[in-house]
Amino acid sequence: MEKRAFAFAASLSVTWLLTTGALAQDYDLVINNGRVMDPETLYDSVANVGIKDGRIVEISKDDLTGAEEIDATGHVVAPGFIDTHFHWQAPLGYRFGLRDGLTSPMDLEMGCPGTTIPEWYAAREGVTLSNYGCAVSHEFARAIALDGVTGDVLLNGPLAALETRKGTGWAMAKADYDSGNEILRILDKGLQDGAIGIGSTVGYMRNGLTTRELFEAQKVAARYGRHLGAHTRFTPDDANHENLGAQEVIANALALGAPVSILHFNNPGWRLTHELIARLSDQGHNVWGEIYPYAAGATTAGAVFMSKDNWVDRLGYKYEDTVQDPITGDFYTAASFAEAQKSDPTRQIVVFKMPESDAAKWLTLKGTTLASDAMATTPFFGAWDTPADQIGNTHPRTSGARAKALRLGRENDIPLMQLMSIMSYNAAKHLGDTGLKAMQERGRMQVGMVADIVVFDPETVTDNSTYAEGLIPSTGFKAVIVNGQVGVRDDELLGVFAGQPIRFEPEAKPRFEPVSEEAWNLEFSTGMPDIAPGIPPKGGN
């Protein structure tokens, strides 16, 4: 009887071992012996990661084997990086982001025209190296309503600005009752079709955009529970005006009970802006801000804030010291810049505006997200594997923002968990809290999450791009994994089109509610009415 029991137990043991072995091999991909870091739970330990059907199914100290394996000894294994401010939404742009560990580039500033959201997403299905997503664009809604822009140019997503900015109404005109409601209707249409939020380039439209219109745009987003991301009204400017611009959209958001993000606040006044954001976040408000780790930004020559009367006469800058042509490397003179503004207003420029020493400080800010503000170059829409010598130059943040953050962290003793938070989890958390499922299951190294993962050497990972050569790829990435598929291995692109859409499900009905003519037109009255709406006369109750 004892022998039979022993034999039965042994049989069970063998069966268990075989079953375990079969299960252990039942992974599509295994990452072994890496330092696994999860910014949400603060898990930080050497472990093995099993991936199947595009998701993390095991994180264990046990040995794992799979159809494909990566030895991550001496490497960090972390959530794939997320960028909410990536303008180069095209195959070439995704290529440079992926080499820098970027698995989810989105454009939540310029955004996409509200009339083309379904077409924009459909054009990327099954043909992208990384995930992709877009906000609905406030600027393009104004270009459609005020400049009459139509046609195929609007299918180019954020890059449509290279054509629409040749007009002036989008930036300079004040919307009246009819055009104002048309702008809001276009924004609503984009959200109805699944756009992530509203992107508003307020600072480029400061001369035409009224406070009423901005409030109403944020109200459109609030009806869907989604955020508005703002390039604030006075960016770039002095510290006083920078913070006034941030306070404008924050006050609107608080009044509406809506999420809001302050885009690239790494400008004069950044300490106060961050304090506002951090305090409100601690109080439970879904308010956040982003930085990029560079002293210079990039924009177009025709930007309203780059005019001589503002940039030189009012703010005291000199073009010769602050404004560079990324193609030639030359700094502009007053005369050459005036010519560029006139003849080529959408020409890209690099603008030096902050001390380089501040970059490492921004990386330490609680709750901040890292967003590159990546800019496109020519050719904008070339094939993903277009030879490097056929591509122009652009700001180095396009291809190096994340690796530079890791390098600066190494050089300035910034904890790696802080960097993992600002490069992945924080953006996923804030967007996930708006109900965006795709972000609720990314930005984390946890069982059940989507397997968007970076594997990098913390001692050697570095940016190689410079202002002179802005598109030299980063190095130090053992692997970059998108939806469970390896897209970069040992710093080499594999040409795997595993990207998935980041968006909300489209809704059957719009939520648009037009602004009343009285409310809109009161903003333009020459004086106050005898009795302001909602305020009783003197002596009344």
Rounded Cα distance between 298 and 321, Å, is 15
- The position carrying tokens 């990314």 is 442
Rounded Cα distance between 535 and 538, Å, is 9
Residue 142 per-residue DSSP state: H
Rounded Cα distance between 500 and 121, Å, is 10
Rounded Cα distance between 334 and 155, Å, is 36
Rounded Cα distance between 172 and 185, Å, is 20
Rounded Cα distance between 370 and 419, Å, is 9
Rounded Cα distance between 484 and 496, Å, is 11
Identify which of 200, 189, 57 has the alpha carbon closest to the alpha carbon of residue 120.
Answer: 189
Alpha-carbon radius of gyration of the chain: 25
pLDDT at 524: 55
pLDDT at 298: 94
Query: pLDDT tens, 269-315?
Result: 999 999 999 999 999 999 999 999 999 999 999 999 999 999 999 99
For residue 243, give both structure tokens: 């913070």
- CATH number corresponding to 80-294+357-455: 3.20.20.140
pLDDT at 25: 55
Residue 466 per-residue DSSP state: -
What is the pLDDT tens value at each position of the chain, 541 positions in all?
433 343 333 343 333 333 334 454 589 999 999 999 999 999 999 999 999 999 999 999 999 999 999 999 999 999 999 999 999 999 999 999 999 999 999 999 999 999 999 999 999 999 999 999 999 999 999 999 999 999 999 999 999 999 999 999 999 999 999 999 999 999 999 999 999 999 999 999 999 999 999 999 999 999 999 999 999 999 999 999 999 999 999 999 999 999 999 999 999 999 999 999 999 999 999 999 999 999 999 999 999 999 999 999 999 999 999 999 999 999 999 999 999 999 999 999 999 999 999 999 999 999 999 999 999 998 888 899 999 889 999 999 999 999 999 999 999 999 999 999 999 999 999 999 999 999 999 999 999 999 999 999 999 999 999 999 999 999 999 999 999 999 999 999 999 999 999 999 999 999 999 999 988 887 654 444 444 445 444 444 4
Q: Which helix (H) or strand (E) holds 369?
A: strand 369-370
Q: Which residues pair with 85 in a beta bridge?
A: 107
pLDDT at 379: 86
Maximum distance among all alpha carbons in the chain?
103
Rounded Cα distance between 300 and 278, Å, is 31
- The position carrying tokens 């104002």 is 180
| CATH 3.20.20.140 domain span(s) along the chain | 80-294+357-455
